Chains A and B, each alone.
Chain A
């Protein structure tokens, strides 16, 4: 990988957690069974969820605001206790071994958090709190400032930074120390696409070294890019779980094929095309407007050859075609709305 910070990433690929404890034996970094959390005894913020996260996996928790994602993270990071159910983090129970768990995890919380100190001192203080040797902290600070494009702000007090810069500082600060699991609760809010991609790449690289990540975001293309598996939560429950492709295949709905023709289509020609494609179940719906024909169907890509030959038979000359696959957005909307 090239670009700012690449040297840092290179070095850290090979770093074998010199100062942290590495999870070697456990197959799962996180295991939860039937966990429920109710704050008021009436309404369940998290309602009977179970999931496992394997070591070295990036697991995405998606859902609308209030779906229960942050509450789940708070339970896993020992901040709050579940009302019922069992949780295992790195083979330990949060209710009994909270301090041992906390020594081996990193958490970037959704809400902003910083000390009333400069950017550099925020990182330095955090390194001291985590007992990272001073010379290691100094080296990491330089690398992280470079990676997160914060070098010019190193002497600026954290509260003077913009929202996006504060978020960058929060993520950078967590990377000062080593960990086995990194919990990221909407870590890229307020950042530009280039920085978002750089952070995601940096996380992906760390995962190659055995880091496990639990990730929540509202940017679904981010989840699609980074997560090995995704769970979509709604009203405290996990509604669906699987890889991005599995979810798209199962819940993505209709694919769209958009065709731009050389000449405007006639209503008669459109009727014949509709009849050919819909009656043979090659498509579910065919719409035409001017030079644009839109064909919707569940198996458009599989039937593409036959659809194109039907167009040719009807004498329709194609200028361009665009096949839009189902996105995670489609899955999310489908799952949450249903």
Chain B
């Protein structure tokens, strides 16, 4: 049976990335955020207001951690290009029975698989400590839409960095800084009140993770409204733009770094 080239590459990417380090990065750290930070902060945060009702902090944090999987998986996917360029496999695969597009699809696919699997695990963990979420076809579709699109968005972002970074130091510095800003200047850990500092608020509101978190959170524990769908459209537009840039830059990548 012939498996399409991009699926063979996806399988290869899964095999290569299924190591302890990646699993800790992908599941261990978000689980600790939820279990340690969530339960500890719950003691000092009485409750968070969402869709005109008050919910516990861990209940609020759960969808944020679920949505954060898009950033982590996007980083793993996009970072694969960097890693393959660094260790010679990019050029090696390009002289194999694959098209350039197959390689790109293989990266996006593995990121989506990791993101969906990671989100389900985080969702399960979240349910076990803070109770259930809304389960309807709208909430499930909106969450899936948000996770898949978010992963494509961040994969494109990290692909762009992978094509531009010339040294490992540059790549690591940029990704660590981005991770910090995107994670903590988003609505994943806390709501963004209108009273917060204007600069921080501006960064948070221009942060794509904020939109992914808000759509996921509303889908899982709130009531989707016009704003939710506006955020979803904004995500879609940004993903298309970033993916187009990533694809353009990717076509010019020749070999190793």
Instruction: Give chain A's interface residues, CB within 8 Å of chain B.
Output: 77-80, 99, 102-103, 105, 107, 109, 111-117, 121, 125, 128-131, 159
Contacts and interface: CB of A to CB of B under 8 A. Distances in A.
B89 A115 contact: yes
Contacts of A105: 95
Contacts of B3: 131
B97 A103 contact: yes
A79 B88 contact: no
Interface size class for chain B?
20 to 34
B19 A116 contact: yes
Contacts of A78: 95
12 contacts: A78-B95, A79-B91, A99-B97, A99-B98, A109-B88, A109-B92, A115-B12, A121-B15, A125-B15, A128-B8, A131-B97, A159-B87
Contacts of B96: 102, 129-130
A111 B3 CA distance: 29
Nearest to A183: B95
A99 B93 CA distance: 12
B12 A125 contact: yes
B99 interface: yes
Interface of B: 2-3, 8-9, 11-12, 15-16, 19, 83, 87-89, 91-99, 254-256
B94 A79 contact: yes
Given A111-B88, A112-B88, A129-B8, A77 B95 contact: yes
B16 A116 contact: yes
Contacts of B16: 115-117, 125
Nearest to A173: B92
Contacts of B2: 131
* A interface SS class: loop
Contact of A128 (B12, B88, B95): B12
Given A79-B255, A131-B8, A114 B95 contact: no
Task: Choose among A99, A116, A131 the residue with the greatest number of B CB atoms under 10 Å from its CB.
Answer: A116
Contacts of A103: 97
Contacts of A115: 12, 15-16, 87, 89
Task: Choose among B92, B98, B99 the residue with the greatest number of A CB atoms under 10 Å from its CB.
Answer: B92
A257 to B, nearest CB: 48
Contact of B256 (A99, A111, A114, A131): A111
Which 4 A/B pairs are nearest by Cβ-Cβ distance? A113-B88, A113-B92, A107-B95, A103-B97
A147 B89 CA distance: 23
A99 to B, nearest CB: 6
A105 B92 CA distance: 12
A114 B88 contact: yes
A112 B92 CA distance: 9
B198 to A, nearest CB: 44
A99 B88 contact: no
B234 to A, nearest CB: 36
A41 B16 CA distance: 39
Contacts of A129: 8-9, 12, 93, 96-98
A109 B255 CA distance: 12
Nearest to A112: B88
Contact of B95 (A102, A116, A125): A102
B89 A111 contact: no
A30 to B, nearest CB: 15
Contact of A130 (B15, B97, B255): B97
A231 to B, nearest CB: 21
Given A102-B97, A125-B15, A113 B89 contact: yes
Contacts of B8: 128-129, 131
Contacts of A130: 96-97
B21 to A, nearest CB: 10
A99 B101 CA distance: 12
Contacts of B87: 112-116, 159
A41 B80 CA distance: 32
B230 to A, nearest CB: 41
Given A112-B88, A114-B87, A131-B8, A79 B95 contact: yes
A116 B11 CA distance: 14
Contacts of B93: 129
Contacts of A116: 16, 19, 83, 87
Given A99-B99, A102-B96, A113 B15 contact: no
